[in-house]
């Protein structure tokens, strides 16, 4: 019996199997993808640039190579997209800013080099918040991306186009960046999977920096397996990234079906359960999942971590100081070339002192040590919330930054501070039909266990079988 | 260093004139402030400054070094970290 699913509903592995059997060509898959982008992007605004001509050439090349027996790996012939902060040689890379609206890089970012070497087919560049920070501002060169579950709602954080594109089935995988949660926030609000790998596992070279100490590069995918496969392709030592770590990348896919029997899971509800910004639906969904993981043979214990506010202060001060250092000259020279939110978020860091930054860097080490001692010396993974409530409406954002806290309440920054890998994935839908999520963090460089637990959660929730029911067609 | 969520969320010290302080900081830094953006930038400044007390602990040992301190390795030929 033939598979009744549309092509965009196939996973990376399923599409790859068809490409290798000859049942599907990359050219067919890419044309289908480009048609879907053309139909839905006027509503979703996920893409700021579509690379149609190059994509069709790359797809033809992938078909020729696969037919001749050259197999470049799991993404060979598979369409993907990049947040528009990643340099792409000969393709406009704007960081969603008027300041870089005409910027055409001479070289590829390292992740793009790896994806190309792996035979992937780049179909375009994705919306972000300006310089991966700003916010959903109307005055930027491109409008903000919209949430496919309800296009009146926010996508989560700066890898906004990536979240929208994956959730709407425009691509199976997209690459984002995460400095305080910008892979995991969109994954949470758009109901996809998103992985912030361990600091040092994936090269940052060629991604426009926001904060050298906290920037991480990671994929969003519709499933845990798709996310694992994308990570496998982009991970690995880059001698030209001073933060890159020289160590082998383990197989991230082999353990996905192993279940959780015997694993030790720490749970930290103290960060969010009594926070007034937390929706009871978020907590209930996480605790339902944890109960089922327990029934599947995992040991689940509550742990008490250092207060969330310290992680938040530490991360935000480091991020603000480094972003200010990066943008200081342009803020002086042409402040109004920035979006209002971006200016209002970066310029105040002029008031931080040298001692503030040093204290933040001291606290960072102390917090990383505390998480290791309290959690990872005894447990395999740590479960906590991602977003504390479903995605807010876009029109709830005020003209000026900062917005009311409940609009941006994500508990993602602790793992940018500590560098541990952290996976965001859906736990279900709210009563209003918007995604709810949870977060699984792991030991440094143990993405395999994080993804293994994520696959078990995915099997429990069944979320991957759902899709945004009605993405409105363009008027 | 532990406690329930929100326990250590601190407001800025009472009576602190953030607007005047902000104007001095921006003047010293040589940063122009677009008039329409000033109110939000002052609010953002106050929010950022309110975080800085959380970075400090009275009992922090002097040996607690910043995470940015380099740990040089013999034979590290490319200046990157081995783990």
Q: Hey, where are the domains in chain A?
A: 11-465
Arithmetic mean of pLDDT, A7-21: 97
Is the pLDDT reported for residue B14 higher than 80? no
One of 3.30.420.40, 3.90.1300.10, 3.30.300.30, 3.40.50.300 is the CATH number of A11-465, namely 3.90.1300.10
Is the pLDDT reported for residue B11 higher than 50? no
Chain B residue numbers touching A335 (CB-CB < 8 A): 31-34
Tokens describing residue A50: 């579509």
Tokens describing residue A217: 């590069």
pLDDT tens, residue by residue, A136-162:
988 999 999 999 999 999 999 999 999
Residue B27 included in any domain: yes
Indicate the pLDDT class of residue A67, thresholds 50, 70 and 90. very high
Residue B74 included in any domain: no
Chain A residue numbers touching B51 (CB-CB < 8 A): 312-313, 316-317
- The DSSP code sequence of A54-104 is HHHHHHHHHHHHHHTT----TTTT-EEEEETTB-BTTB---TTSGGGTT--
Domain residue limits at B44: 18-55
Is the pLDDT reported for residue A474 higher than 70? no
ipTM associated with this complex: 0.93
Chain B residue numbers touching A349 (CB-CB < 8 A): 48
The Cα-based distances of A453 to A311, A409, A421, B37 in angstroms read: 24, 24, 13, 45
Chain A residue with the nearest C-alpha to that of B39: A400
> Across the interface, do A362 and B83 touch by the CB < 8 Å criterion?
no
Q: Is A83 a catalytic residue?
A: yes
Tokens describing residue A276: 């007034």
Mean pLDDT for chain A overall: 96
> Across the interface, do B52 and A352 touch by the CB < 8 Å criterion?
yes
Residue B25 included in any domain: yes
pLDDT tens, residue by residue, A258-309:
999 999 999 999 999 999 999 999 999 999 999 999 999 999 999 999 999 9
Give the integer Cα–Cα distance in Å for A175 and A110. 12
Q: Which of A11, A113, A158, A159 is catalytic?
A: A158
Is the pLDDT reported for residue A197 higher than 60? yes
Indicate the pLDDT class of residue A134, thresholds 50, 70 and 90. confident
Establish if B82 touches chain A: CB-CB under 8 angstroms.
yes
DSSP letter (8 states) at residue A138: T
Indicate the pLDDT class of residue A24, thresholds 50, 70 and 90. very high
pLDDT at B3: 31
| Rg of chain B taking only CA atoms, in angstroms | 20
> Across the interface, do B66 and A274 touch by the CB < 8 Å criterion?
no
Q: Is A158 a catalytic residue?
A: yes
Arithmetic mean of pLDDT, A389-398: 96
Q: Is A182 a catalytic residue?
A: yes
Chain A residue numbers touching B37 (CB-CB < 8 A): 340, 343-344, 400
pLDDT at B72: 65
Residue B75 included in any domain: no
Establish if A397 touches chain B: CB-CB under 8 angstroms.
no
pLDDT tens, residue by residue, A423-433:
999 999 999 99
> Across the interface, do B44 and A242 touch by the CB < 8 Å criterion?
no
DSSP letter (8 states) at residue A373: I
pLDDT tens, residue by residue, A320-338:
999 999 999 999 999 999 9
pLDDT at A475: 41
What is the number of structural domains in chain B? 1
Indicate the pLDDT class of residue B13, thresholds 50, 70 and 90. low
Residue B44 included in any domain: yes
């Amino acid at each position: 019996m033939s598979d009744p699913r549309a092509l965009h509903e196939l996973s990376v592995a399923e599409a790859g199997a068809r490409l290798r059997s000859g049942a599907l060509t990359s050219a067919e898959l890419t044309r289908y993808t480009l048609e879907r982008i053309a139909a839905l992007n006027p509503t979703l605004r996920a893409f700021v640039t579509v690379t149609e001509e190059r994509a069709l050439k790359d797809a033809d090349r992938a078909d020729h190579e696969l037919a001749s027996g050259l197999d470049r790996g799991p993404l060979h012939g598979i369409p993907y997209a990049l947040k528009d902060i990643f340099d792409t040689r000969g393709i406009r890379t704007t960081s969603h800013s008027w300041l870089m609206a005409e910027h055409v890089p001479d070289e590829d970012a390292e992740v793009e080099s790896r994806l190309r070497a792996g035979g992937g087919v780049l179909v375009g560049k994705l919306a972000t918040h300006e310089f991966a920070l700003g916010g959903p501002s109307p005055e930027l060169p491109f409008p903000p991306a919209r949430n496919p579950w309800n296009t009146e709602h926010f996508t989560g954080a700066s890898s906004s186009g990536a979240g929208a594109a994956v959730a709407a089935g425009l691509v199976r995988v997209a690459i984002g960046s995460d400095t305080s949660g910008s892979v995991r926030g969109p994954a949470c609000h758009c109901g996809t999977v998103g992985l912030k790998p361990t600091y040092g596992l994936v090269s940052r070279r060629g991604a426009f920096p926001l904060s050298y100490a906290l920037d991480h590069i990671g994929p969003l995918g519709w499933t845990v397996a798709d996310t694992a496969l994308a990570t496998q392709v982009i991970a690995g030592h880059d001698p030209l990234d001073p933060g890159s770590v020289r160590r082998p990348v383990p197989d991230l896919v082999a353990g996905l079906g192993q279940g959780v029997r015997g694993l030790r899971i720490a749970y930290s509800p103290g960060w969010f359960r009594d926070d007034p910004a937390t929706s009871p639906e978020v907590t209930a969904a996480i605790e339902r999942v944890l109960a089922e993981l327990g029934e599947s043979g995992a040991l689940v214990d509550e742990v008490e971590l250092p207060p969330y506010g310290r992680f938040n202060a530490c991360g935000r001060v480091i991020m603000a100081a480094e972003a200010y250092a990066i943008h200081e000259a342009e803020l002086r020279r042409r402040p109004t070339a920035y979006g209002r939110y971006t200016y209002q978020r970066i310029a105040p860091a002029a008031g931080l002192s040298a001692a503030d930054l040093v204290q933040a860097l001291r606290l960072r080490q102390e917090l990383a040590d505390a998480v290791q001692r309290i959690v990872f010396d005894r447990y395999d993974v740590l479960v906590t919330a991602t977003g504390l409530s479903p995605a807010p409406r876009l029109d709830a954002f005020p003209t000026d930054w900062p917005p009311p806290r409940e609009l941006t309440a994500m508990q993602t920054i602790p793992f940018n501070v500590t560098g541990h890998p952290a996976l965001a994935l859906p736990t279900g839908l709210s009563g209003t039909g918007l995604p709810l999520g949870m977060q699984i963090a792991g030991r440094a460089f143990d993405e395999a266990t994080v993804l293994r637990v994520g696959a078990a959660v995915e099997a429990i929730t069944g979320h991957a079988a759902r899709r945004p029911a009605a993405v409105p067609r363009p008027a | 260093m532990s406690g329930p969520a929100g326990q250590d969320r601190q407001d800025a010290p009472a009576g602190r004139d953030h607007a005047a302080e902000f104007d001095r900081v921006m003047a010293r830094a040589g940063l122009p402030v677009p008039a329409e953006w000033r109110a939000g930038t002052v609010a953002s400044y106050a929010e950022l400054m309110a975080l800085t007390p959380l970075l400090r602990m009275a009992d922090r040992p002097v040996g607690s070094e910043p995470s940015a301190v380099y740990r040089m390795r013999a034979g590290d030929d490319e200046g990157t970290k081995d783990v």
